[in-house]
């Protein structure tokens, strides 16, 4: 059986070339290291509400299975593991998986890292309580099918968080020209502005699915403090939440009721 793939080989090769730098906070992935605290806080808060977990617990998400799709070097997989999730980290780049696996071993963390794709996981019948789809969808060849495949792997009541870049002139100026060519935060060519996605496009990709989509939740960078924070401004970076409904008659927590920002 031939499995459809949304993998873009050029994108995989681009990130493979700099895989060794994932854990260097001053290297090519420095912007992600700065972004990580805000991403982690959002993920943790959403999951705490979704699964009615105790925020005071050291490992509040014990018993839940999480997929970090497009995991790169493991910048999200490792803290998610420390919070108690059973983490599967998947990336199409063997070099990324090698870097992630080596770093997790150094930290004494058990993470199921695999060089694979969302399509292969879906075909194998894998399901997850939480799926992190962070800064990945703008790098795939078929974003609509990729998002639907990820959504299909959500267990009943499961939560997916999608983070990406908005296709606006502001995003072109700041995330493309500014970040890559003026400030040199990212290697030139990291992003293709034409692949940035508007929130309504993400919603449209999941039309007809048994999924509730909320957001966008904006994220902005303050050049004066050098920090990221959640914001009502979703013109550049934003996140969306996707929740799979429980089967009829099934119980469980209700979807997170946080007003959409943007």
pTM for this predicted structure? 0.84
For residue 3, the model assigns a pLDDT of 45
CA–CA distance, 214 with 180 (Å, rounded to integer): 30
DSSP run (H or E) holding 49? helix 30-50
CA–CA distance, 238 with 162 (Å, rounded to integer): 8
pLDDT confidence bin for 256, thresholds 50/70/90:
very low
For residue 136, the model assigns a pLDDT of 94
- The answer on pLDDT for 57 being more than 90 is yes
Look-up of token digits 């292969």: 120
CA–CA distance, 123 with 238 (Å, rounded to integer): 29
For residue 13, the model assigns a pLDDT of 62
Residue 221 phi/psi, 5-degree rounding, is -105, 130
pLDDT confidence bin for 179, thresholds 50/70/90:
low
CA–CA distance, 62 with 75 (Å, rounded to integer): 20
Q: How many residues does the chain have?
A: 262
How far is residue 239 from each of residues 12, 46, 232, 242, measured CA to CA in Å?
A: 23, 11, 11, 10
Task: Report residue 252 as tokens.
Answer: 């469980």
Give the tens place of pLDDT for each residue, 11-34: 556 545 555 688 888 887 777 788
- The answer on pLDDT for 245 being more than 60 is yes
For residue 186, the model assigns a pLDDT of 58
**Domain range summary for the chain, segments of one domain joined by +:** 9-244
The matching CATH number, chosen from 3.40.50.150, 3.30.300.30, 1.10.10.10, 2.40.110.10, for 9-244 is 3.40.50.150
């Amino acid at each position: 059986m031939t499995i459809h793939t949304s993998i873009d080989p050029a994108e995989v090769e681009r990130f493979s070339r700099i895989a060794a730098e994932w854990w260097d906070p001053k290297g090519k992935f420095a912007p992600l290291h700065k972004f990580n605290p805000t991403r982690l806080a959002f993920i943790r808060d959403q999951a705490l509400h979704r699964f009615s977990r105790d925020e005071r617990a050291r490992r509040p998400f014990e018993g839940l299975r999480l997929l970090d799709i497009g995991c790169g070097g493991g910048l999200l997989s490792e803290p998610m593991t420390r919070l108690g999730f059973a983490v599967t980290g998947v990336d199409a780049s063997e070099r990324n998986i090698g870097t992630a696996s080596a770093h997790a071993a150094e930290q004494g963390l058990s993470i199921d890292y695999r060089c694979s794709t969302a399509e292969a996981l879906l075909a194998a019948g894998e399901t997850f309580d939480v799926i992190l789809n962070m800064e990945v969808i703008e790098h795939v060849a078929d974003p609509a099918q990729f998002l639907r495949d990820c959504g299909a792997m959500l267990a009943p009541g499961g939560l997916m968080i999608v983070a990406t870049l908005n296709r606006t002139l502001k995003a072109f100026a700041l995330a493309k020209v500014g970040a890559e060519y003026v400030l040199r935060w990212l290697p030139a060519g990291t992003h293709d502005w034409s692949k940035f996605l508007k929130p309504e496009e993400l919603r449209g990709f999941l039309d007809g699915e048994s999924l509730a989509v909320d957001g966008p939740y904006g994220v902005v960078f303050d050049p004066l403090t050098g920090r990221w924070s959640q914001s009502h401004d979703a013109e550049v970076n934003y996140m969306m939440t996707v929740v799979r409904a429980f089967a009829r008659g099934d119980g469980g927590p209700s979807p997170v009721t946080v007003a959409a920002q943007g």
